[in-house]
Structures are given as C-alpha cells and as structure tokens.
Structure 1
Amino acid sequence: MDKITKVEIITRPNKFEELKDALNKIGVMGMTVTNVMGCGVQKGQTGNYRGVAYTPELLPKIKVETVICEVPVELVVETAKKVLYTGKIGDGKIFIYEIANVVRIRNGDEGKVALNNQP
C-alpha cells in the first residue's frame, strides 16, 4: 500500500481562505475544517487592558485536516508555513501522522483508492 499521511494544521481563522486556496493549487482537494478553541505559548501570560491585568483564555482557532498520498507531505507543510507565517505568537502548529489504512464506507474501497473522488 502506498504511504498515506494525515496533516493537521491549527491556525488563526482569518488565514483559512488563503490556506485553502494555496492547498488547492498544489493538489490538495479534500479537507475537514473545524472551529476550535485553544492556547499555546500565550497561556498564562498576563496582559493589561486599560490598566487592569488579565490572563487570556482560550483563543478561537481553526483546524484543517487533510489526508494525502499523491501530494508530497513536505510540499503541504512548506505551503502552509509560507501562507500562515506572520512571525508572531499564534501562527499555529502543523501535526503529521502516518495513516495505517483508509476505508470508504459506501463501497468498501481501501487504501489509496478510497481517497480518490470517484462516484
């Protein structure tokens, strides 16, 4: 079976359209998008708002998940990094997972064939 990889990208919601367009241009067609809440480095940092100290809570993020086998993983990662980089805290994270198998429920196709968008 060909190598199948899941790439999960968590970033700012305002970057989604640009990321989606860039991924489509390199051949990534299928994705699952979820609105999520989270924090990373920002957690626990105390900020000031009008002279009052506060601790930031969970921040709105967007999670983009895609499973690929044709498009090189390195290309997906480099594309996402290029689009999402601002140099500021909160740009996001990319997680990469190896997938053991994919099964299309409708007809039982498995592996790479199950990822193809055929009727």
Structure 2
Amino acid sequence: MVKVEIITRSNKFEDLKEALSDIGITGMTITQVLGYGNQKGSTEYYRGVPYEINLMPKVKIEIVTDEDLVDTIVKTSRRVLSTGKVGDGKIFVYDIMNAIRIRTGEEGKDAL
C-alpha cells in the first residue's frame, strides 16, 4: 500500500477530484492548509495600505491505494494541476505498513 499526498492550489481541487474519479479513485481525505514555499506569498491592499500575505491557502489531498495505481495517480495529477507557474504544488509518495478498518477489523488491502 502507498499513500499519495498532493498539496496544490485550492481552485484546482474540483478538476483534480473529477480526473481522479475518472481513473477509479473514489476515496481521499481533503484538508485545507496554509503553506509557504517558492511562491513567497503576495502583497494585498486594504483601504490603500499594503500588507503581506506570507502563507498561501492550499488544499492537501491524501490517497491510500495499491502500488499499481500510484503512477497513474501521479501522472493524472501532474497533467491536471500543472500551470507552469510557481505555486502548482507538490506530490509526495509514502509507503504504508498497514491499514485497519476500525468498524470491521479488516487489515491491509481489505481495509481500503
């Protein structure tokens, strides 16, 4: 089992969710997060006074799946999320030792 974690722009989430659904991904965990990277934030103006926004709103998508689907998930995500601009996000891939469904006690792939 593998966990794929995608951190990207909030406005791209619906496009990604639809594309992942098209390749058979039905389960994911979504978290609204704030991040700071190469994008470095932006300057906004409130009543003519500039102020810095250093942490940018992002969305984090977590998917636990079989190893067989990881390449497809990564390729699909890159295709949908890439704008070629700073701030497109990151994809992390982790090995998962075990998963347990609390309700039934199923473990491993059966718990997914």
**Aligned match of 2:10:** 13
**Aligned match of 2:39:** 42
The Cα RMSD (Å) is 2.0
| Identity %, equivalent residues | 57
**Aligned match of 1:63:** 60
Q: Secondary structure of the residue that 2:77 maps to in structure 1?
A: helix
- Aligned equivalents of 1:31, 1:47: Cα separation in 2: 33
> CA 1:48–1:59 in structure 2 vs 1: closer, same or farther (change >3 Å)?
closer
- Aligned equivalents of 1:53, 1:8: Cα separation in 2: 34
Listed as ranges, the matches of 1:17-96 within 5 Å are 17-43=14-40, 55-69=52-66, 71-96=68-93
In the TM superposition, structure 1's runs of 4+ consecutive aligned residues that sit over 6 Å from their partners are none
Q: TM-score, normalised by structure 2?
A: 0.88
Q: TM-score, normalised by structure 1?
A: 0.83
Give the partner amino acid of 1:67: V
Q: For structure 2, which runs of at least 5 residues remain unmatched after alignment?
A: none
**How many residue pairs were aligned?**
109
Higher strand residue share: 2
Q: For structure 1, which runs of at least 5 residues remain unmatched after alignment?
A: none
> CA 1:105–1:58 in structure 2 vs 1: closer, same or farther (change >3 Å)?
same
Q: Secondary structure of the residue that 2:33 maps to in structure 1?
A: strand
> Alpha-carbon deviation of 1:12?
0.5
- Aligned equivalents of 1:62, 1:47: Cα separation in 2: 21
